[in-house]
Structure 1
Amino acid sequence: MQKPPFTALAAVYDAIMADVEYGHWADFVLTYANDGGLEVRSALDLACGTGGFTLELWRAGFRVHGVDGSLEMLEVARERLPAEVTLSLGDLRTFELPDPLRGNSFDLVTCVFDSLNNLLTPADLGAALARARAQLRSGGLLACDLNTRLGVRELWEENAIEGLAATPEGREVHYHWTHHYDPEGDVGIVQAFCRIEDSQGDLQEFVEEHRERGYDPADLEPLLRRAGFARWEIVEYPDYAPPTPETPRIWVFAWA
């Protein structure tokens, strides 16, 4: 029943996350890019998962490539995305693009839905930022979001979420996810329990454990500098306001 992160979850991820506002996030990112004078023709979506945000980038008219560390998530993304959106398996810290794209520079690199928080040390996060910077052309933009330390400590009210969702083929998913903060490890831990009907109507259960470390602006700025970004801005969604100590999630816009 215990599964590695983002494996069994892939099959039910989109059903559980049906209310995620990928379109609004894309508008937020592209408005910032346009206001900064960036003409976007190509985009690289890191930790693309099942392709929800990747699809919005394609709908905006860009040439898009997605990278993710989970083969299971990429298999769902491949079914969801148009054939011209290319995908590859890779670790955020070390990925290499496939041969047809190797050496290309992108106008925009994105990494959303607190994916970078899965990197549990500043060294790992710094490595991922450096890999993202290496894919950008001069003057290109990295757009990403992260949960702050506060956001990881206080992820959900009452530290649990529960509900029912339906897959596209009509199977019912019951999910019960609990969260606690480990002060010794300085990480938030989510136990993601799911129960789903299989094709014969029998119930299957699994649990995945997900760990996140929170990062505040003060943690990020030296990492962005070492990764080679020329300038950056750290803001809140959706109004681009400066974050406060009570901000649970921040957005980073970093220019190459």
Structure 2
Amino acid sequence: MSYEQFAYLYDELMKDAPYDEWVRFVKERLAKYDVSGGRLLDLACGTGELSIRFADEGFQVTGIDLSSDMLAVAQAKAEKKGVRIPFFEQNMLDLDGQGQFDVIGIFCDSLNYLQTEEEVKETFSSVFQHVNHDGLFIFDVHSTFKISHGFIDQTFALNDERLSYIWNSFSGEHEHSVEHDLSFFVLDEQSGKYDRYDEFHYQRTYPVELYSNWLHDAGFELLEVCADFEPKSPESHSERIFFVARKK
């Protein structure tokens, strides 16, 4: 997948995302499970929107992402706000050199961009090595319901003066996977013409039971599985599943 142009459109496309809900969720779980310390690792941090919000809440934040373009946007935003956050271009499967953290998060369904079961397992193992004893690992993923009923064979569109897109989603090669085919049309204000950019994104999720088993195999104690930012067990129609695990 390519993020080169997408990185510079991402914040505009995600302007209505419930970022404050992610911050609230993390703060509530840290209090609930009596986790002290404020070192937070934001994996797949993207353009740093959550990283900056966590820093504003007093966390010592480190951000990691695979996309240098996303990180360039994140760094510029942090500098503009006067927030000091170290950002690193690195794969979440291998966090060598990153030290230890009190909480590690993979938010905004970013884990679903990993393409194989082995990559998810490697990520869990990598996180386990870098979270402190009794520290928390928190992540959210699309539910199998969301992939099957919310994305596959759906078309989404936006017709705006400066930015428009057509977004088609198709069934992926594997069960509970989806391919997103996106075309963006961005106004060039100097020429008055629209530039077209095409993106392809692949996401894959798994049943709750598999994530739970993989966390256990990596050495974590699974504390909580809930849905859609609420302290309730996932239901058949839940869309976003949250996992809270502790290193023991």
Give the TM-score of the pair, scaled to structure 1.
Answer: 0.88
One-letter amino acid of the counterpart of residue 9, structure 1: F
One-letter amino acid of the counterpart of residue 58, structure 2: G
Name the SS of the counterpart of 2:150 in structure 1: coil
Name the % identity: 23
One-letter amino acid of the counterpart of residue 46, structure 2: G
Name the SS of the counterpart of 1:210 in structure 2: strand
> What residue number does 2:236 align with?
245
**Is the Cα contact below 8 Å between 1:178 and 1:192 reproduced in 2?**
yes
* Structural RMSD (CA): 1.8
Using the alignment, how far apart are the partners of 1:121 and 1:149 within structure 2?
A: 15
> What residue number does 1:89 align with?
89
Name the SS of the counterpart of 1:247 in structure 2: coil
Name the SS of the counterpart of 2:206 in structure 1: coil
Which of 1 and 2 has higher RCO (CA within 8 Å, sep 6+)? 1
**Is the Cα contact below 8 Å between 2:229 and 2:242 reproduced in 1?**
no
Runs of 4+ in structure 1 deviating by more than 4 angstroms, as ranges, are none
Give the TM-score of the pair, scaled to structure 2.
Answer: 0.91
Structure 2 unaligned spans of 5+: none
1:158-177 aligned at under 5 Å gives the runs 159-164=154-159, 172-177=162-167
1:54 aligns with 2:51: yes
- 1:198-247 Cα deviation digits (max 9, x unpaired): 35233211111111112221111121012221333211123210112322
**Is the Cα contact below 8 Å between 1:90 and 1:96 reproduced in 2?**
no
1:130 aligns with 2:125: yes
Name the SS of the counterpart of 1:215 in structure 2: coil
Comparing 191-200 with 47-56, which one deviates more in the overlay? 191-200
**Is the Cα contact below 8 Å between 1:151 and 1:214 reproduced in 2?**
no
Per the TM alignment, residue 158 of structure 1 is displaced from its structure 2 partner at its CA by 6.9
- 1:169-188 Cα deviation digits (max 9, x unpaired): xxx11122111223x42220
Structure 1 unaligned spans of 5+: 167-171
**Which of 8, 23, 39 is residue 5 of structure 2 equivalent to?**
8
Name the SS of the counterpart of 1:209 in structure 2: strand
Using the alignment, how far apart are the partners of 2:216 and 2:239 within structure 1?
A: 23
| Alignment size in residue pairs | 242
1:87-166 aligned at under 5 Å gives the runs 87-97=87-97, 102=98, 104-156=99-151, 159-164=154-159
